[in-house]
Structure 1
Amino acid sequence: MKQAIVHVALLVKDYDEAIDFYVNKLKFELIEDSYQPEQDKRWVVVSPPGSDGVALLLARASKPEQMDFIGNQSGGRVFLFLNTDDFWRDYERMAAEGIRFVRPPSEQEYGTVAVFEDLYGNQWDLLQLNPDHPMATRGRTKP
């Protein structure tokens, strides 16, 4: 059996401001932006460049009770993990874009990491996993 998680829904206040942040500041790719008239919403999917894994579904909050969770979908914990092939390149670019880092870069046993906030305050790890980390080698053919 083979299965995969293809989307993670991320609550947003506004589709266009969220697209602007993810595409123009984080440099994600806009995969899809389709209007669904039967539900009066858009299906907006973004993904990190070069990724063939999970994509984010930017889901506009449609009920008052959903508004409280924008920016706090994980109770204040790091929610999403953005792995990169060049930590310092991406860290410097993101900092220059004005992305707020709430924990500075540090070397950990699994790799290099810093915590940043998205436009609503959700916390993310920017990380570069060490080459021997199990997730760094996942999907690669072993020699």
Structure 2
Amino acid sequence: MRTQKRCMGYVAIVVDDYDRAIEYYTNKLGFTLVEDTPQPGKRWVVVTPNVESDCNLLLARASNSRQETFIGNQCGGRVFLFLQTDNFWRDYEAMKAAGVTFCEEPREEEYGTVVVFEDLYGNRWDLYQNN
């Protein structure tokens, strides 16, 4: 019997400028730029926290005023994305040194260590490490 592999390939996040977003995600969060391909009227820009990951972040520039209203508010103020790490303190300290905005102090939960941060646009993320 053949099994299918299914996974999330991309999660799109609305941004105001490709280059500004690339700079933030690569230099502040330590992501890798996977692809930056010009297309008519836009670019296909993909970054990833881990080049071996099946799930990547697609940086999608807003193309009209309606889309612009969602920049920084992808999830209505709730945590939108969850960045899992194998070394919480290493990544937390690196992100803090790079100027990432944290909304709270790191905390221990029953599942592991977590802290909420905001990206360049104000979207809220969890940085977490499972126990």
Q: Structure 2-normalised TM-score?
A: 0.94
Q: What secondary structure does 1:92 align onto?
A: helix
- Segments of structure 2 that go 5 or more residues without pairing to the other structure are none
Q: State whether structure 2 residue 39 is matched by structure 1 residue 36.
A: yes
Query: What's 2:81 paired with?
Result: 80
Cα distance in structure 1, aligned partners of 2:56 and 2:79: 17
| Offset, 1:2 | 2.7
Q: 1:22-33 to 2 correspondence within 5 Å?
A: 22-33=25-36
Query: What's 2:67 paired with?
Result: 66
Q: State whether structure 2 residue 119 is matched by structure 1 residue 118.
A: yes
Counterpart amino acid of residue 19 in structure 2: D
Q: Percent identity of the aligned residues?
A: 62
Q: State whether structure 2 residue 21 is matched by structure 1 residue 14.
A: no
Counterpart amino acid of residue 64 in structure 2: K
Cα distance in structure 2, aligned partners of 1:80 and 1:5: 13
Cα distance in structure 2, aligned partners of 1:17 and 1:6: 23
Higher RCO, 1 vs 2 (CA within 8 Å, ≥6 residues apart): 2
Residue deviations 1:48-95 (CA, integer Å, cap 9, x gap): 034413100000000100111100000000000000111001111111
Q: Is the 8 A contact 1:27 1:49 kept in 2?
A: no
Q: Is the 8 A contact 1:30 1:45 kept in 2?
A: yes
Cα distance in structure 1, aligned partners of 2:125 and 2:52: 17
Cα distance in structure 1, aligned partners of 2:123 and 2:52: 21
Counterpart amino acid of residue 30 in structure 2: K
Cα distance in structure 2, aligned partners of 1:6 and 1:104: 31
> Which of the residues 4, 8, 26 maps onto 1:5?
8
Cα distance in structure 2, aligned partners of 1:4 and 1:27: 23
Q: What secondary structure does 1:103 align onto?
A: coil
Residue deviations 1:101-129 (CA, integer Å, cap 9, x gap): 00210000111000000000000000001
Dislocated runs of 4+, deviation >2 Å: none
Counterpart amino acid of residue 34 in structure 1: T
